[in-house]
Chain A
C-alpha cells in the first residue's frame, strides 16, 4: 500500500529563517511526486513535479529535491506570504491504473 508521510505537521518560522519540509514515501512504481501549496478556503496550487531521484526544481524561494525515499521542500528566507499548508503527493501505477496518494500536509506559518 502506498504511503506518504509529511513532517512536521506544523512549522512556525520567523521571516527570513530558512527551513525544510519533509515528505517520506513508500510506493511501488513511482510515476511522479508533486508538491502543492494550499491557502485556506482554496484548492491546492501546483508547485512542482519531480520524476526521478536526484531531480531538483526551484521556484522563487522554494526548492524541491527528490531521493528514492523522500522529498524535501526547502524554503529560503521565507516571507509572511509563504504561510500556507504544503501538500506532497505521489502518483503510482498500481495494477494497471494510476493512483495518487497525498500526505496530510505541513502547515507553515511565517511570522514578520
Chain B
C-alpha cells in the first residue's frame, strides 16, 4: 500500500536554530500534503495545507514566517521550523493525499527544543 515517509522521527535542537522535517510519498504522487501539530494529550491540529507548486494555506493562528512549508514536487513536502524556541516543542505529523482523495500519514516527528 501507499507509504508516506517522514523524517527525522525525533530531533533535539538548541533554541534559535532551524529544523527541517521532510515528508515523502514513496509510491504515489501527492497532490496535496497536510501538516499537523499535536500537543500532549490533545488531538492533531491542522497547521497548513500545501499543494504542489503553490504557496501553502495556513490555518488561523499559525505563523507563516515561523513554519515554512515547501512543496516543490509531487512526492516531497518540507516543514521548516525557523528560529525554534522551547514552545515549539511538539509532535509534528504530515499526511499526503493521492489522486483518489485517499489520505496517508507519516509516522510523525517529535521535536524538542532546548
Contact = CB atoms under 8 A, between A and B. Distances in A.
Given A97-B110, A98-B91, A100-B108, A105 B103 contact: yes
Given A97-B110, A99-B108, A105 B102 contact: yes
**A interface, size bucket:** 20 to 34
Of A34, A36, A49, A102, most buried by chain B (CB within 10 Å of CB) is: A102
Contacts of A109: none
Contacts of B1: 104
Interface residues of B, number: 22
A43 B43 contact: no
Interface of A: 34, 36, 38, 40, 43-44, 46, 49, 85, 87, 89, 96-102, 104-105
Interface of B: 1, 9-10, 34, 36, 38, 41, 43-44, 46, 49, 91, 93, 95, 101-105, 107-108, 110
